């Protein structure tokens, strides 16, 4: 079965935060596109989120954190344009469920380095450990076809 939403992996919960430790949050507004688990920045002029995209230009390359779950809406649903949301500011050693670029043909094994993707709002495997582009490690393997992952932030 392909995993595409937070409750499909790990503990079966739709929660984005796995670690159960205190977190830092930033308030923002939805853009009608971003979903819980997306990596986002905030557009200063509007206060709305924008999905982080590697190579996406100045605004899209900003990064604040991960869109938190909003239990008042259906799981894996975009948060409405202008609707309030919380962004989780990732903390080193904490674990989160995030959007992930399909590994394409092979399972991404636990422990692999991950960083920002050219897929909006997602992370992907990073070939070289110890580079500036590594932001975490896979906490669980990600099978081919999956678009959600559990990562430990660095």
Domains, the chain, ordered by start? 95-153 (2.40.300.10)
**Alpha carbon distance 2, 141 (integer Å):** 13
pLDDT at 55: 73
Spell 114-148 as b/e; 16+ CB within 10 A means b. bbbbebbbbbbbbeeeeeeebbbbbbbbbeeebbb
Walking along the chain (154 residues) 10 residues at a time, the average pLDDT comes out as 93 94 97 97 94 76 92 95 98 96 88 89 79 84 94 95
């Amino acid at each position: 079965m392909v995993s595409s939403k937070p409750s499909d992996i790990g503990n079966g919960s739709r929660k984005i935060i796995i670690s159960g430790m205190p977190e830092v949050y930033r308030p923002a507004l939805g853009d009608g596109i971003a979903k819980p688990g997306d990596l986002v920045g905030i557009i200063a002029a509007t206060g709305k989120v924008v999905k982080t995209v590697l190579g996406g230009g100045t605004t899209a390359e900003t990064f604040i954190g991960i869109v938190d779950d909003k239990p008042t809406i259906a799981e894996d649903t975009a948060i409405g344009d202008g609707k309030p949301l919380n962004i989780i500011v990732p903390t080193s050693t904490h674990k989160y469920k995030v959007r992930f670029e399909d590994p394409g043909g092979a399972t991404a094994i636990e422990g692999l380095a991950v960083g920002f993707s050219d897929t909006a709002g997602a992370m992907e495997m990073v070939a070289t450990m110890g580079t500036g582009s590594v932001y975490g490690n896979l906490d669980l393997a990600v099978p081919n076809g999956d678009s959600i992952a559990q990562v430990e932030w660095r």
